[in-house]
């Protein structure tokens, strides 16, 4: 950090940009190569591997491969980001007592339930989705519990990685707003990675891997209602970054993330799209509400209340 201006040195900022670009580009290409190899060699690597490959779609194999390479390359990236070890997990904040973490998580859950819950309720009231007939109450309770467990698990893992391990070092290199914006755009784009199945099953190897990589990047804008969904996912990432920046820990983000995942899953489980009604950007139709401008409005309200730190405030 430049002591005179409070800004990160320009040379270090560009070094981090290059390291992040290589991390994403090379990691994604190796994921493409790995998924093709799995389809080629899976039948020859024993029944367990062949059955696993047979059960998974091309996109699932690509995402699993990308996750593996992201973990393997992470130490190299963190070295370039001047990672500070466990203190950059975002689990603790020396300025705050431990009991505050529970309070932050509970507050995050309340924010998530109220914001997205209200959106889902309005979409139902607006007629874009309708409740589906349910069986006995006991058949609903168990899925709701597992949705909560799944949401909490996903939230802890993703927030530790995205708002802890990556976001906190990026703040030291770029400042809060650029770090929040870049990490959130990457977070949003990752949800739209979709490879060409023909490339995965191609008999070539290296040419097919580059073809698959190209299709992953070129296919991002082709998703249905892409602009609204991308904006909402990016805005969601910025909101979660603002939580981490304001509180010094990830626990407010974890609570909100877990609640949002739970509401999305419950909404998809208990309601369905009204197919007779055309899609409109205000109401949307998806169970996760990412194609709705109502969700955009709710996230903007949350962001207005809990904003990222200004450049004059000390970073986390």
The tens digit of pLDDT for each residue in 241-269 reads 999 988 889 999 999 999 999 999 999 88
Q: What's the pLDDT band for 75 if we cut at 50, 70, 90?
A: confident
The Cβ-side half-sphere exposure at 3, using a 13 Å CA radius, reads 0
C-alpha–C-alpha distance, residues 223 and 290, integer Å: 12
Band the pLDDT of 54: cuts 50, 70, 90: low
CA angle 66, 234, 30 (to 5 degrees): 15
Sign of the CA dihedral with 21 first, then 23, 28, and 29 last:
positive
Residue showing tokens 């949401």: 151
Check residue 138 and give its pLDDT: 53
Confidence at residue 48, expressed as pLDDT on a 0 to 100 scale: 62
Sequence length of the chain is 316
- 3-class secondary-structure state, position 307: coil
Q: Which two tokens stand for residue 64?
A: 């699993």
How does residue 31 score in pLDDT terms, banded at 50, 70 and 90?
confident
pLDDT above 50 (res 4): no
Confidence at residue 6, expressed as pLDDT on a 0 to 100 scale: 46
DSSP assignment, residue 308?
Answer: P
Which residue's structure tokens are 């207005």?
304
Partnered with residue 273 across adjacent β-strands are 129
Q: Three-state secondary structure along 198-248? A: HHHCCCCCHHHHHHHHHHHHHCHHHCCCHHHHHHHHHHHHHHHHHHHHHHC
Q: Round to whole Å and give the CA distance between 292 and 298.
A: 10
Contacts of 239 by beta carbon, 8 Å cutoff, 6+ apart? 256, 299, 302, 303, 306
**Which structure tokens are listed for 176?**
């809060």
Percent of the residues in the chain that have a pLDDT greater than 90, as a whole number: 28
Would the pLDDT of 124 be above 60?
yes
What confidence tier does 295 reach under pLDDT thresholds 50, 70, 90? Answer: very high
Average pLDDT, the chain: 82
User: How far does Cα 279 stand from its chain's mean position?
Assistant: 25
**Average of per-residue pLDDT across 137-157:** 85
Kindly state the average pLDDT of the residues 198-222: 76
DSSP of 254-291? HHHHHHHHHHHHHHHHHEEE-TTS---TTT---TT-TT
pLDDT value of residue 294: 94
């Amino acid at each position: 950090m430049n002591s005179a201006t409070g800004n990160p040195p320009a040379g270090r900022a560009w070094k981090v940009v290059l390291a992040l670009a290589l991390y994403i580009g090379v990691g994604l290409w190796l994921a493409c190569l790995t998924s093709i190899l799995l389809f080629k060699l899976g039948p020859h690597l024993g029944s367990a591997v062949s059955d696993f490959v047979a059960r998974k779609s091309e996109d699932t194999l690509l995402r699993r491969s990308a996750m593996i390479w992201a973990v393997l390359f992470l130490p190299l990236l963190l070295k370039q980001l001047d990672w500070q070890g466990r203190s950059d997990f975002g689990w603790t904040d020396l300025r705050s007592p431990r009991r505050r973490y529970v309070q932050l998580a509970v507050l995050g859950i309340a924010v998530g339930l109220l914001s997205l819950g209200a959106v889902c309720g309005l979409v139902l009231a607006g007629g874009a989705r309708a409740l589906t007939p349910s069986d006995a109450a006991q058949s609903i309770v168990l899925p709701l519990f597992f949705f909560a467990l799944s949401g909490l698990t996903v939230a802890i893992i993703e927030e530790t990685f995205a708002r802890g391990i990556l976001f906190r070092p990026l703040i030291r290199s770029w400042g809060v707003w650029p770090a929040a914006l870049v990490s959130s755009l990457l977070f949003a784009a990752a949800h739209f990675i979709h490879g060409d199945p023909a490339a995965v099953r191609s008999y070539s190897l290296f040419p097919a891997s580059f073809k698959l990589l190209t299709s992953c990047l070129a296919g991002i804008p082709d998703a249905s209602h892409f602009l609204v969904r991308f904006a909402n996912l990016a805005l969601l990432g910025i909101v979660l970054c603002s939580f981490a920046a304001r509180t010094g820990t990830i626990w407010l983000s974890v609570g909100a993330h877990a609640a949002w995942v739970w509401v999305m899953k419950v909404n998809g489980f208990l309601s369905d799209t009204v197919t007779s009604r055309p899609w409109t950007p205000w109401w949307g139709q998806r169970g996760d509400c990412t194609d709705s401008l109502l969700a955009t409005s709710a996230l903007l309200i949350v962001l207005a209340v809990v904003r990222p730190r200004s450049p004059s405030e000390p970073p986390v």
